[in-house]
Amino acid sequence: MEHLKCCVISNNEPLDQAYWETQYKTKTTGWDLGQVSPPLQRYINTIITKNSRVLIPGCGNSYEAEYLLEHGFTNVTVIDIALTPVRALKEKFKNNPSIKIVLGDFFAHQGKYDLIIEQTFFCALPPTMRQKYVWKMHQLLAEEGILAGLLFNRTFESGPPFGGNKEEYELIFKGAFDFLKIDVSKDSIAPRANSELFIELKKNSQVVVNLYELEGITDSDCMEKLIEKLLAINGVLNVSISSNFADVLLVSKKEITTETLQEVTAYDEKYAIKKIKN
């Protein structure tokens, strides 16, 4: 189970740069496979366009990036918030112009990518950030861009890693992405056998994806009622609210004005909704 329970459990600490840096400094990096994950290796082998712009967020030691470079990819960007793995990667690839190594927060990163690779980054984030993850992925992908990789198909008592299941993931990605694949991975490493989903999601460029800060919701019943009202707005395709009721992800055919959203939420004077800018 050491590949599953990957790091010191944090119930109270923020999962910030200091937290992750400590995991690397104390070598508490049970998530680190020491090799490219087999499902991603198989997936990468199918990609013909070697100059695709590829991003690996929360890259850690990034064996996936190494594999891409060894197989002729010429435009790879990796980003991690922790200095230790970033420093190691910079040293390892110091003479390689095909890779850009960024120290920073994925959520502040700017760029356009044809492919974003997910490998134990989603599960490392607090579940309250899942709506923000979908929003950011949609922003960073170019038209027809693909998000591919692995998500856990099981829960954990506490995290990180934080798990989930297919239905949950479908609810948050719905509308913003087309599901090309979301299946139990057949070639996961033994400790993760049958507990990972391989996803291949294509950005839906026909829709607008916005994230809003929400105030005033305190329980699931109120959340469900608000979701119902937001879904009734003409052109809204999907609404998903974070587990702490603080973020609303809204997928729509066209931009929905703040005035419309304020009108719809006005049935309860405690509610306030504000668009989060990029």
Concatenating the DSSP letter of every residue in 84-152 gives: HHHHHHHHHTTT-TTEEEEES-GGG----EEEEEEESSGGGS-GGGHHHHHHHHHHHEEEEEEEEEEEE
Among 54, 76, 78, 79, contact with ligand SAM (rule: CB under 6 A): 79
CB of 150 vs ligand SAM, minimal distance in Å = 9
Q: How many CB atoms lie within 10 A of CB 185?
A: 24
| Candidate segments 105-113, 174-182, 209-217, 247-255, binder of ligand SAM by CB under 6 A | 105-113
Q: How far is the CB of 192 from ligand SAM (least distance, A)?
A: 11
Residues 34-63 as x/- pattern, contact with ligand SAM by CB under 6 A: -----------------------xxxxx--
The packing angle between helices 38-45 and 63-70, to 10°, is 30
The number of CA neighbours under 13 Å toward the Cβ of 110 is 2
Instruction: Choose between 92 and 229: whose C-beta lies nearer to ligand SAM.
Output: 92
User: Rule CB under 6 A: which of 5-34 touch ligand SAM?
Assistant: 6, 20, 31-32
Q: Does 82 bind ligand SAM (CB under 6 A)?
A: yes
Q: Which of 35, 49, 50, 105 binds ligand SAM (CB under 6 A)?
A: 105
CB of 58 to ligand SAM, least distance (A): 3
